[in-house]
Chain A
Amino acid sequence: MASTGTLYRGGVSMWSWVAHRITGVAVLFFLYVHVLDTALIRVSPDAYDTIIASYKTPLVNLMEVGLVGAVLFHALNGLRVMAVDFWERGPRLQKQMLWVIVGIWLLVMVPGTFYMMKHTIESLFGAA
């Protein structure tokens, strides 16, 4: 019988691995959706237009920001994992590398979110 107790209190490196998995699966599901919606144009151009129009809603806009965030984290952390695998000093510097990629992620995502959401915010609350 497996014992389930409290959550294991692993460090940031464990959580970076959890986030890597979650973003990986999320991006994979996006790819399925993307293949389906693009393929729809060969089935029915009208249906394609309807679907694409629905992407302009605030909710999908928010999901787009999430997608960019997920792809960016997965890509940057992927580079970190490769460095841990192939660079002999990688395992020792893994935490510093994690802070670097989190820093780059924030640097891109903070203004990125603003510009991606600009249109939605203006149409919802009116332009300043």
Chain B
Amino acid sequence: MATATATAIPEAAAPQSFDVTLRIRRFDPDDSDTHFWQEFTVSVYPTDRILDCLHKIKWEQDGTLTFRRSCGHGICGSDAMRINGKNRLACKTLVKDLKTKKAITVEPIKGLEVEKDLIVDMEPFMAAYRKIKPFLITDDIEPTRERVQTAEERAAFDDTTKCILCAACTTSCPVFWTDEQYFGPAAIVNAHRFIFDSRDSAAGQRLQILNQDEGAWRCRTTFNCTDACPRGIEVTTAIQQVKRAMMYGLEDAE
């Protein structure tokens, strides 16, 4: 076979751009105290992200549209918002995955105070995160080498290391909407990350914190958080493991 038969690869059709309408819930604290909906139509490709649509609107149509974003690649956790009624990251949601016959609705996440347009006050969320002591605590003598951990010990909390603190889970929780004091899924996930870490020795402290009235027991397992997590963390599973650790101790919790 001297020459390979050239298989005719059909030229991929160039992606076509089309118009989509975004219905955005806006709020300007300086202008008036009322929220209102505003529609924008932008020309996009199916593979564009909702973040691209928002950029197009901000750069080409209305510079006052305000939203947070940093990395644009699903790592920094800045652009959690409610897209077509569900909490999603704008930078991980593609236009082709949404129904575009009607306008795509974009709203700020629920349960935290809106500061402007799609930006909410994250402070209550971060305060709950700080309360569960999200750092390694040890009470043994510092070893001269690294703290050794088996693959199995590492696997116990692997899922909950993926959190990027975007608040998509906490603000999808019906309990959190009506009770801002509730620690919320994200704080419990980050507590889980240390509670089940064999190198950490403050699991008891963290379990005690989450055993309060506003702690893990407020979870009613609606699974909205698990659906909302852009990192695919099984949030409800982690919360249930924390609950069982409070009842039976760490060894029997998994």
A residues with CB within 8 A of B? 1-11, 13-14, 17, 81, 84-86, 88, 90-92, 94
Contact A88 B25 (CB under 8 A): no
CB proximity to A under 8 Å, residues B213-254: 220-224, 226-227, 234, 236-237, 240, 243-244, 254
Number of A-B contacts (CB under 8 A): 79
Chain B residues contacting A86 (CB-CB under 8 Å) are 244
Chain B residues contacting A94 (CB-CB under 8 Å) are 221, 223, 236
The residue in A1, A10, A92 that gathers the most chain B C-beta atoms within 10 A of its C-beta is: A10
Apart from A86-B244, A92-B234, 18 more pairs, CB < 8 Å: A1-B114, A2-B111, A5-B105, A5-B108, A6-B85, A8-B85, A8-B172, A8-B174, A10-B222, A11-B223, A13-B224, A81-B221, A84-B236, A84-B240, A85-B221, A91-B223, A91-B226, A91-B237
Q: A19–B244 Cα gap in the complex (Å)?
A: 25
Chain A contact surface mostly = loop
> Which listed residue (A5, A14, A81, A85) contacts B82, Cβ 8 A?
A5
Chain B residues contacting A85 (CB-CB under 8 Å) are 221, 240, 243
Q: A64–B110 Cα gap in the complex (Å)?
A: 38
Chain A residues contacting B113 (CB-CB under 8 Å) are 1-3
> Which listed residue (A2, A6, A11, A17) contacts B107, Cβ 8 A?
A6
Report if A91-B224 is in contact (Cβ < 8 Å); known contacts: A1-B113, A9-B86. no
Contact B107 A5 (CB under 8 A): yes
Chain B residues contacting A84 (CB-CB under 8 Å) are 221, 236, 240
Q: A7–B110 Cα gap in the complex (Å)?
A: 10
B residues contacting the other copy or chain, number (CB 8 A): 31
Q: A86–B111 Cα gap in the complex (Å)?
A: 29
Contact A7 B224 (CB under 8 A): no
The residue in B110, B223, B236, B254 that gathers the most chain A C-beta atoms within 10 A of its C-beta is: B223
Residue of B nearest to A80 (CB): B221
CB proximity to A under 8 Å, residues B157-188: 172, 174
Instruction: Name the distance in Å between A6's Cβ and chain B's nearest Cβ.
Output: 5
Residue of A nearest to B219 (CB): A85
Q: A8–B35 Cα gap in the complex (Å)?
A: 17
Report if A10-B227 is in contact (Cβ < 8 Å); known contacts: A17-B220, A85-B243, A91-B240. yes
Residue B142 CB within 8 A of the other chain: no
Residue B196 CB within 8 A of the other chain: no
Q: A88–B226 Cα gap in the complex (Å)?
A: 16
Contact A17 B174 (CB under 8 A): yes
Residue of A nearest to B23 (CB): A6
Report if A88-B254 is in contact (Cβ < 8 Å); known contacts: A5-B25, A94-B221. yes
Q: A6–B105 Cα gap in the complex (Å)?
A: 9
Chain A residues contacting B226 (CB-CB under 8 Å) are 91
Contact B221 A1 (CB under 8 A): no
